[in-house]
Amino acid sequence: MELKDVSAVVTGGAGGFGAATVRRLVAAGAKVVIADLAEDRGKALADELGSAVRFVPTDVTDEGSVASAISAAGELGPLRVAVIVHGGPAAGARILNRQGERYPLATFRRTLEIFLTGSFNVLSQAAEAMARTEPVASGQRGVVITTASIAGFEGQPGQSDYSAAKGGIIGLNLTAARDLAPVGVRVVSIAPGVFLTPAYRISPEEAQEKFGKMVPNPKRMGDPDEYAHLALTIAENDYLNGEVIRIDGALRFSGR
């Protein structure tokens, strides 16, 4: 798919993966909506990249908010790409703590609401908008790229809600690709391993020391631009569809 003069929406577009993806899409000729709640970072990135980019404050759990981001993308050109890469809080606690107290159901629900339900909200609305566009010469109308995690395959202790949400995205992927095949919309999911993003809330040196050394090869954490490079490849390659692609340096989480 040719990306010049088409529009894209990136949820979490002001974050580590998101900002890198926005930059890659703009460099390929796309016009991009940064859909995020981080207003300062989102506006700063839009100012940096100029008229090809628009920041739209977006709550992925709210239908009206996502609709506004999708509409804004449509004003920039035919919507062909949606990258769903927003983050959210992760409590990191076991189902039962050391005192035998259970993990709060409200926290579990909130994690699924943000990562899984929010992703479906964006996917379905983006696909609906893409279905209204004229197909390109190949018959395609667009692609939705979701973000899973290797935790969706082998979650670690304390990741019950996050692993369940990311496992849900993995399970959704093929069904969504099959559902949307008649309208020429592809669905592909990226499952990152450990990447050096602000989500770790520690210095890059500390993060590399703690997490980078567990990666078989290359023996380091991933760079967000490596995620973005893969997202761009997926967008441009029409034959990538219905697949979950791990990008993790051959890392497999253990049960420690």
Catalytic residue numbers, as ranges: 162
46: how many CB neighbours lie within 10 A of its CB?
Answer: 21
Phi, psi of 73 (to 5 degrees): -65, -40
Nearest-CA neighbor of 69 among 130, 133, 20, 122? 122
Q: Please, are residues 8 and 84 in contact by the beta-carbon 8 Å criterion? A: no
From its phi and psi, is residue 5 left (phi > 0), alpha (psi between -120 and 50) or beta?
A: left
**CA 245 to CA 191: how far, in whole Å?**
6
How many helices (H) and strands (E) the chain has is answered by 8, 7
Nearest-CA neighbor of 115 among 168, 46, 178? 168
24: how many CB neighbours lie within 10 A of its CB?
Answer: 23
